[in-house]
Amino acid sequence: MMNPQRVPMPGLPSSVTIWEVGPRDGLQNESTIVPVDVKVEFIDRLAAAGLRVIEATSFVHPSWVPQLADAEDLLTRLQPAPGVRYPVLVPNDRGLDRALALGVREIAIFGSATETFAKNNLNRTVDESLRMFDPVVRRARSSGLRVRGYLSMCFGDPWEGEVPIEQVVSVARRLIDLGCDQLSLGDTIGVGTPGHVSALIRALDAAGVAPDRLAVHFHDTYGQALANTLAALQAGVSTVDASAGGLGGCPYAKSATGNLATEDLVWQLNGLGVETGVDLRALVRTSLWMAQRLGRQSPSAVVRALATEV
């Protein structure tokens, strides 16, 4: 199997935590409903490939996301692997009740940096959504849970166009003040470029949100996800969201390409000598297996390039 030569780049973190979103963010945008036992096998295979944070599912209302209507069933069947974290998305108080009842140890909430996306995705203003999240985060933390805040549309919005950096910093600051341990900066429609990434991370740092509280969540709609990742690593971020095989995407983006593929990220980090703990060969095999289940080819460049070699 071809491998990149390992040549480190000064100034990068020595290791990166990959936050694997395939089972949740990836599958929720797939129209083929995947049986729960396939999902459990998918998650188990990801853990066996060395991923240490796997976002397992979401407690949104089943009518919003039919693909994830089996959240309880999935978590009941899942046998946690030692050392692996399985956060779940929780949209509101009711979702938190369901998560707590199943012994979930870590949740994520899903906020928006723009009013239009908040309205279209959450049916609320940004203020209203933060008020909705407030008791969720408080109760989660008092129950000892870790809380991640997703922040969508940080680099552009399909309805509003440009999104000012100050606006993103303002909403980010409020999510941190609510009690989020970590923020994931989402380029939901993939329009960001590396200078924008650096500038936002610097502005957040200046507002008291240090890079070690941040993750980045890039989409590859315009082919920019890995260059943006490099800029984020150079700016001190060491948690990167990715989706095995490039599963999923944003239904509001105009292209088939969605989440950064975990394999493409691991290839880059392997070349840079940045530790991830991931076995690329096992991961590619997993994505090929899932692509068969979904009946479509993986959009990941690395999965396609290595398909006959693993």
Closest residue by Cα to residue 20 from 56, 54, 69, 65 = 54
4 binds a copy of itself (CB under 8 A): yes
171 binds a copy of itself (CB under 8 A): no
Q: Which residues, numbered 227-256, are part of the site for a copy of itself (CB under 8 A)? A: 227, 229-231, 253-256
Q: Least CB distance from residue 158 to a copy of itself, whole Å? A: 7
- Stretches 90-98, 108-116, 126-134, 161-169: which one binds a copy of itself (CB under 8 A)? 161-169
308 binds a copy of itself (CB under 8 A): yes
Which of 36, 250, 274, 291 is catalytic? The answer is 250
Q: Least CB distance from residue 171 to a copy of itself, whole Å? A: 17
- Stretches 19-27, 105-113, 208-216, 296-304: which one binds a copy of itself (CB under 8 A)? 296-304
Q: Which residues, numbered 174-233, are part of the site for a copy of itself (CB under 8 A)? A: 189-196, 198-199, 220-224, 226-227, 229-231
Contacts with a copy of itself: how many residues (CB under 8 A)?
Answer: 55
Closest residue by Cα to residue 89 from 231, 217, 227 = 217
Identify whether 154 is a catalytic site residue.
Answer: no
Active-site residue list:
250
Residue ranges that bind a copy of itself, judged by CB under 8 A: 2-5, 7-9, 12, 155-156, 158, 162-163, 165, 189-196, 198-199, 220-224, 226-227, 229-231, 253-257, 261, 264, 267-268, 270-273, 300-302, 304-306, 308-309
